[in-house]
Chains A and B, each alone.
Chain A
Amino acid sequence: MSAFDGRVDYGVIAGWVSEGSRVLDLGCGDGSLLRHLERTRGATGYGVEIDIERVIACMKNGINVLQIDLEKGLYDFVDQSFDLVIISNALQTLHRTEKLLTEMLRVGREAVVSFPNFAFWKHRMAIMDGHMPVSDRLPYQWYDTPNVRFFTIVDFESLCDKLGIRIHERLVLDDDGQPVKDEPNFLGSFALYRLGGTGG
């Protein structure tokens, strides 16, 4: 996808993974994040992916991958069976957002969610200009995007509040992959969260 994909985000997420964690990576793509976590954090676990080409790529990468449709939920997965459930840059491609977030924290002690911020100023400019935004973080035309949910940092935090999900940590990055401190919903193009359940 974009030039940003990978390294910066992976480093942040790896920092949130304790040594030897059990990890479930939802929408794991070619498995490179999970592989990174295995190598740098000694993590073990599974990737979940719906697309067969990516499933094959995961197998080439030597990670455990399960070809499962996330729209059908995580019913196979046992309560609290993972230290961490990750959905990296994929939440916006799934319809059942609330169900999935709740399920992630049923299955995992903690969750990591990352997504592109639709309220990033360049995206706002595009709308002002009369077009749906196309950027490094949203590298699709409106007619071919895999994204089905369009939300912002503020929207996401409201939903967490509604669902009783605690935000343990947040990191917002700008277009260059640098951390954003002020006005994150305006200056940030990508957000990463470490989340816990009501109990945690």
Chain B
Amino acid sequence: MTTEHAIPADSVGVVSPLCARFDSPLTLKSGAVLPAFELMYETYGELNAARSNAVLVCPALSGHHHAAGFYADAPKNLGWWDNLIGPGKPLDTRRFFVIAVNNLGGCHGSTGPITVNPETGKPWGADFPVVTVEDWVAAQSLLADRLGVGEWAAVMGGSLGGMQAMSWSIHCPSRVRHAIVIASAPKLTAQNIAFNEVARQAIITDPDFHGGHFYEHDTLPRRGLRLARMLGHITYQSDELMAEKFGRRLREGGRKFSFEVEFEVESYLRYQGDKFAGSFDANTYLLATRALDYFDPAGDAGGDLAAAFAPARADFLLVSFSTDWRFAPSRSREIVDALMRNRRNVSYAEIESSAGHDSFLLDDPHYHSVLRAYFDNITT
């Protein structure tokens, strides 16, 4: 039998999303209580008999549980980290049992603003409680219990996902053997929070936002989300990469002395903004950016990052990218420094890449060699 698309040998192939329901109340860091919740997740590879080969992949801002492979009915919709996860790939599913999750407050099936609030029978919308990285880790740890994973061989993530990996190592030290923290930071800078605030304001001030209850009005704050994504995209790329990709090139027709799309970069940003606005939930965007803003383990430990990491027992790998100015290499060095002060095993690679923050999603050969070498030395 022939198939229309041959599946590459290093692909996890066809995958299916799974849903775990938790009926015990979860008290969030804010004090709010979720009476029950569901988490969407996917798994790749097999849990071994010793249950010692599980790896948790934590999503970044717009990430979700579809990290690798594709769905039978959507062969082109590859998981967001498909270049990393698969048989023979750096995170080798022949050795590791990989779990990817959609966090609380997400918009891909886990309990969040678009799911129904049982108290009102309507979508949560803006009433969904503000969630933190620590809340996500708490929910993920319940999922780990459910799946029979007592201890992760590794918890990994890029950007906001890296913050979850750090949080795991601090709050569940005995459950994490390795923490892999990529293109992340120990906390956001004022500049970084400022970018998030502009994105949020774009959404909140969109007349179609309706205070977050736009679902009832059968609309969505498309313009706001679009602007938020356009702004985000600029900060996820480097000046260098944008110069390389677009330069000052004009689209066909050249200058029209108008404010239409004339430069290639304008066209690209509008495309990215439109694509995102049609597929992502505005309330989830607000929640995820707030989770980023609030993450500050040092702040919870008297301002001392080394003290914050004192409970950690994991070995660490930190990776940063030379042109990432949103989560610059110096921010990863702060983490390395705090870990050295705690005498943790830690390795750090600073990858030369022109692609800015988004580099963590790409497959730079040095970057992937680093991850491969690190994973290869993780015993299962």
Is A77 positioned at the interface, with any CB of B under 8 Å from its CB?
yes
Give the docked Cα–Cα distance between A78 and B337 (Å): 9
Cβ B373 vs Cβ A78 within 8 A: no
Pairwise interchain contact A52-B351, C-beta atoms closer than 8 A: yes
A52–B377 alpha-carbon span in the complex (Å): 18
Q: Are A65 and B376 in contact (CB under 8 A)?
A: no
With the chains together, A22 CA to B333 CA distance in Å? 20
The answer to whether B370 touches A56, judged by C-beta atoms less than 8 angstroms apart, is: yes
Contact A66 B377 (CB under 8 A): no
Among residues 332 to 380 in chain B, which have CB atoms less than 8 Å away from a CB atom of chain A? 333, 336-337, 340-341, 343, 345-352, 366, 369-370, 373-374, 376-377
B373 touches A56 (CB 8 A): yes
A68: contacting residue among B348, B352, B374, CB under 8 A: B348
Residue pair A52, B352 in contact (C-beta under 8 Å): yes
A46, B340: Cα distance in complex, Å: 9
Check B341 against A78 for contact (C-beta < 8 Å).
Answer: yes
Assess A66 versus B366: contact at CB under 8 Å? Given A60-B373, A60-B376: no
**Residue pair A67, B349 in contact (C-beta under 8 Å):** yes
User: How many Å lie between the Cα of A67 and that of B351 in the bound state?
Assistant: 9
**With a CB–CB cut-off of 8 A, which chain A residues contact B376?**
60
| A59 and B373 in contact, given A65-B347, A76-B337, A77-B340 (Cβ under 8 angstroms) | yes
A62 interface residue, CB < 8 Å from B? yes
Chain A residues with CB below 8 A from B346, complex form: 46, 64, 66
Contact between B333 and A58 (Cβ–Cβ < 8 Å)? Answer: no
Main secondary structure of the interface of A (DSSP, over half): mixed
User: Which A125-142 residues have a C-beta within 8 angstroms of B?
Assistant: none
Complex-state Cα separation, A76 to B329, whole angstroms: 13
Q: What bracket does the count of chain B residues touching chain A fall in?
A: 20 to 34
A60 / chain B contacts, CB cutoff of 8 Å = 373, 376-377
A52 to B345, CA, bound (A): 19
The interface residues of chain B lying within 8 Å CB-to-CB of A66 are 336, 346-348
A53 to B369, CA, bound (A): 9
Q: B344 — nearest CB in chain A belongs to which residue?
A: A64
* Minimum C-beta distance from A74 to chain B (A): 11
The answer, among A56, A65, A76, for a CB contact under 8 Å with B369, is A56
Q: Which residues of A contact B345 (CB under 8 A)?
A: 64
Give CA–CA (A58, B374) in the complex, Å: 10
Partner of B377 from the list A44, A62, A76 (CB cut-off 8 Å) is: A62
Q: Is A55 an interface residue (CB 8 A)?
A: yes
Contact residue range for chain A? 20 to 34
CA distance A30 to B348 in the complex (A): 14
Identity of the chain B residue whose Cβ is nearest the Cβ of A31 in the assembled complex:
B347
**Closest partner residue, chain B, to A78 (CB atom):** B341
Choose one: B336, B343, B374; the contact of A59 (CB below 8 Å).
B374
**Contacting pair A64 B347 (CB below 8 A):** yes
Contacts of B369 in A (CB 8 A): 56
Q: Which residues of A contact B352 (CB under 8 A)?
A: 52
**Could you mark each residue 51-86 of chain A with 1 if its beta carbon is under 8 Å from any beta carbon of chain B, else 0?**
011011011101011111000000011100100000
Q: State in angstroms the CA–CA spacing of A44 and B376 once bound together.
A: 21
Cα distance A76–B306 when bound, in Å? 13
Cα separation A67 to B337 with both chains bound (whole Å): 13
A76 CB contacts on chain B under 8 angstroms: 333, 336-337, 340
Complex interface: chain A residues within 8 A of B337 (CB): 76
Residue of B nearest to A22 (CB): B343
For residue A65, which residues in chain B have a CB less than 8 angstroms away from its CB? 347-349
Specify which of A22, A44, A67, A81 is in contact with B348 (CB 8 Å cutoff). Answer: A67
A55–B320 alpha-carbon span in the complex (Å): 14
CB pair B347 A59 closer than 8 Å: yes
> Looking at B343, B345, B347, B373, which has the most chain A CB atoms within 10 Å of its CB?
B347
Question: Which residues of chain A are within 8 angstroms of B370 by Cβ–Cβ distance?
Answer: 52, 55-56, 59
B residues in contact with A77, CB < 8 Å: 340
Q: Per-residue 0/1 for B296-335: is the Cβ within 8 Å of any A Cβ (1 yes, 0 no)? A: 0000000000000000000000000000000000000100
Give the CA-CA distance A153 to B304 in the complex, in Å: 44
B349–A52 CB distance below 8 A: yes
Q: CA–CA, A22 to B345, complex, Å?
A: 12
Across-interface contacts of A62 in B (CB, < 8 A): 377
Q: How far is the CA of A77 from the CA of B348 in the complex (A)?
A: 14
Report chain A residues within 8 Å CB of B340: 46, 76-78, 81
Q: Which chain A residue shows the least CB distance to B348?
A: A66
Q: How far is the CA of A41 from the CA of B340 in the complex (A)?
A: 20
CB distance from A75 to the nearest CB of B (A): 9
A44 to B315, CA, bound (A): 13
Residue of B348, B350, B366 near A56 (CB, 8 A) is B366
Assuming A22-B343, A56-B349, A59-B377, what are 8 further A-B pairs, CB within 8 angstroms?
A46-B340, A52-B351, A52-B352, A55-B370, A56-B369, A56-B373, A58-B347, A67-B348
Ordered nearest first, which 7 A-B pairs have the shortest CB separation? A59-B373, A66-B348, A60-B373, A62-B377, A76-B337, A67-B350, A56-B369
A-B contact pairs, 20 of them (CB 8 A): A52-B352, A55-B349, A55-B370, A56-B366, A56-B369, A56-B373, A59-B347, A59-B349, A59-B370, A59-B373, A62-B377, A64-B346, A65-B349, A66-B347, A67-B348, A67-B350, A68-B333, A76-B333, A78-B340, A78-B341
